[in-house]
Amino acid sequence: MATRSAVINVMAKAAEKAARGLVRDFGEVEQLQVSRKGPADFVSTADTNAEKLLCAELAKARPDYGFLLEEGGTIEGRDKSNRWIIDPLDGTTNFLHGLPHWAISIALEREGEIIAGIVYEPLRDEMFWAEKGQGAFNNHQRLRVSARRRLDEAVLATGIPFKGRGDHPLFLAQLQTLMAECAGIRRFGSAALDLAYVAAGRFDAYWETGLKPWDAAAGALIVVEAGGFVTEIDGGRNPVHGNSILAANGQLHAPVGKILREIGKTKPAVATGA
């Protein structure tokens, strides 16, 4: 049985406490779908409340650490070497629509390097966690990335840019090319869980552009500690703070990356009206 360190216990307990409120609020979303006002404001409040609770719990245990937050921005701590990177509700659109696929993501960054992370999916009670050099786990079960070598047997995950965001023609070109090469592509709507699922071998690879650090920080470490490879799509080594991410097992990272980079070199023109 895996033994969690003190820092992982701190993160896990904070996530579990915040999750109780989110699960309760998630149960109310379906009722709000029929109201005139709609659930958007309600979900925004749930997101903010979860972030405040996470900050309070983590600050109680490590009072000098700083924060990088989805909602609250950067909070400097007295300890300049350590900061928490938090997404209190990754998969907000899913949550908003009553879709049961969302998670809490917490990472600890030390001197610019992610050294610990958890991705907690409360509805399935799956706690994905890792520390640098210590392996990756789902609850107490060791995680390993998949061993698939052939792209035509692989299932890939991605994130689709939505209205007003991202490069739609480029993404469609990526999708068209990879669809012809792999067994399937999934878009589940939570980057943190996509990465956790790569670590668990459920997905063989995952790519996306335009993520923020809180989307990828914890999940990227979990993939690496499960034996996978995580880079930027162009090969850069800063996927957490960069503009893109590609996570995969050791056999598929290179071929998927090559395809994506080739598409980037022949970037499709943005469609214009007639």
The token pair that represents 124 in the structure block: 């399935």
- In degrees, to the nearest 5, what angle opens at C-alpha 131 toward C-alphas 148 and 249? 15
Q: What is the 3-state secondary structure (H, E, C) of the chain?
A: CCCCCHHHHHHHHHHHHHHHHHHHHHHHHHHHCCCCCCCHHHHHHHHHHHHHHHHHHHHHHCCCEEEEECCCEEECCCEEEEEEEEEEEECHHHHHCCCCCCEEEEEEEECCEEEEEEEEECCCCEEEEEECCCCEEECCEECCCCCCCCHHHCEEEECCCCCCCCCHHHHHHHHHHHHCCCCEEECCCCHHHHHHHHHCCCCCEEEEECCCHHHHHHHHHHHHHCCCEEECCCCCCCCCCCCEEEEECCCCHHHHHHHHHHHHHCCCCCCCCC
Between residues 72 and 185, the one the model is more confident about:
185
269 has a pLDDT exceeding 70:
no
14 and 132 part of one domain? yes
Instruction: Please indicate, yes or no, whether residues 14 and 109 belong to a single structural domain of this protein.
Output: yes
Asked whether 224 and 232 are in contact (CB, 8 A), the reply is no
Instruction: Give the residue among 228, 226, 236 at the shortest CA–CA distance from 260.
Output: 236
Provide the number of structural domains found in the chain. 2
Residue numbers of the domain that contains 215: 151-265
pLDDT in tens, 130-158: 999 999 999 999 999 999 999 999 999 99
91 in a structural domain: yes
- pLDDT at position 31 is 63
Q: pLDDT tens, 74-131?
A: 999 999 999 999 999 999 989 988 899 999 999 999 999 999 999 999 999 999 999 9
Give the orientation angle of helix 6-32 with respect to helix 40-61, to 10 degrees. 170
Q: Are residues 135 and 192 in the same domain?
A: no
Do residues 52 and 136 share a domain? yes
Query: Is 61 among the domain residues?
Result: yes
**Per-residue pLDDT tens for 27-64?**
887 665 444 445 567 678 888 999 999 999 999 999 99
Write down the pLDDT at residue 20. 96
Does the structure show a pLDDT above 60 at 270?
no
**What CATH number did the domain enclosing 225 receive?**
3.40.190.80
Q: Cα–Cα distances in Å, from 108 out to 62, 194, 253?
A: 11, 19, 25
With respect to residue 274, please indicate whether it lies within any of the assigned structural domains. Answer: no
Same domain? For 106 and 203 the reply is no
Distance CA 57, CA 234 (A): 38
Per-residue pLDDT at 267? 65
In one-letter notation, the amino acid at residue 66 is: G
Residues 6+ apart with CB under 8 A from 253: 205, 228, 229, 231, 246, 247
For 179-214, the pLDDT digits (tens) are: 999 999 999 999 999 999 999 999 999 999 999 999
